[in-house]
Amino acid sequence: MHITIATAAASLAAFFLSPTAASPLPAPDLAPRQDYGDNVPGAATFYGGNVQGGTCSFSGYVLPPGIRGTALSSANWESAANCGACVNVRGPNGETIKAMIVDQCPSCAKNQLDLFQRAFTQLADESAGRVGIDWEFVPCGVPGPIKLKNKEGTSRYWFSMQVLNSNFAIKKLQVSTNGGKTWKKTKRAQYNYFERSSGFGTDVVDVKVTSISGKSIVVRNVKVGGSSAQEAHANF
């Protein structure tokens, strides 16, 4: 469970000042980050699907062969940290599919997946509408390298970059302007771009991408320009 310092301070104040301080405070209804391989009992519904306009901002992206699409409950959203991650989903009759998280489902319950319609019908009849499932995070199995994509408007004065095709969820993206001697942080936006509002003051940078697996990939001489993209040499 992720609790901010401000939230913790407010909770402590409420505890000591409240006349009913002996009663434990209710915990926020947030789902913890699941580890790869952890089985998650949940539910699946379906919708028409939205790769291009989904909350993960995968504009122009085409799902890899054999991978379906899904939206993830807001309770599991983790501030877009699960964008691009893949899940193995087992339906009520034992059928399984692999799906990539490309969108958010605000109306979904905790641990619920809102699958693309075609994905849902591989697990159950469409008339069911909603079924019980088990799912787990798994490597996507994309054979090619990761890809870095600049958001439109990116420049030396404003930095915004996205990672595509990763086999594991992305943990952080760092930038170096001195050949890798030092690395500067970026902040992940809710729409799945790593940003620095003041930019990095240069048109070419080195980028270090670290996945949830703990491994990092460094991409040298990446151009900082609106809507440009560059492939790395490897994947996780």
Looking at domain 28-138, what is its CATH homologous superfamily? RlpA-like domain (2.40.40.10)
Q: Return the pLDDT at 34.
A: 72
163, pLDDT greater than 60: yes
Q: Return the pLDDT at 53.
A: 96
Q: Return the pLDDT at 33.
A: 62
Annotated domain spans of the chain:
28-138, 147-226
Mean pLDDT of 15-23: 37
CA distance 202 to 103: 32
> Which pLDDT band holds residue 190 (cuts at 50, 70, 90)?
very high
> Which pLDDT band holds residue 35 (cuts at 50, 70, 90)?
confident
Mean pLDDT of 183-202: 98
Listed in sequence order, the residues at least 6 apart from 30 whose beta carbon sits closer than 8 Å to its beta carbon are: 1, 2, 75
26, pLDDT greater than 60: no
Torsion angle, alpha carbons of 88, 91, 96, 101, to 10:
-30
Between strands 112-116 and 216-223, the pairing is: unpaired
Dihedral pair phi/psi, residue 118, rounded to 5°? -65, -35
| Closest to 173 (Cα-Cα) out of 164, 185, 165, 181 | 185
Reported as a single tens digit per residue, the pLDDT across 96-134 is 999 999 999 999 999 999 999 999 999 999 999 999 999
| CATH code at 147-226 | 2.60.40.760
Average pLDDT, the chain: 89
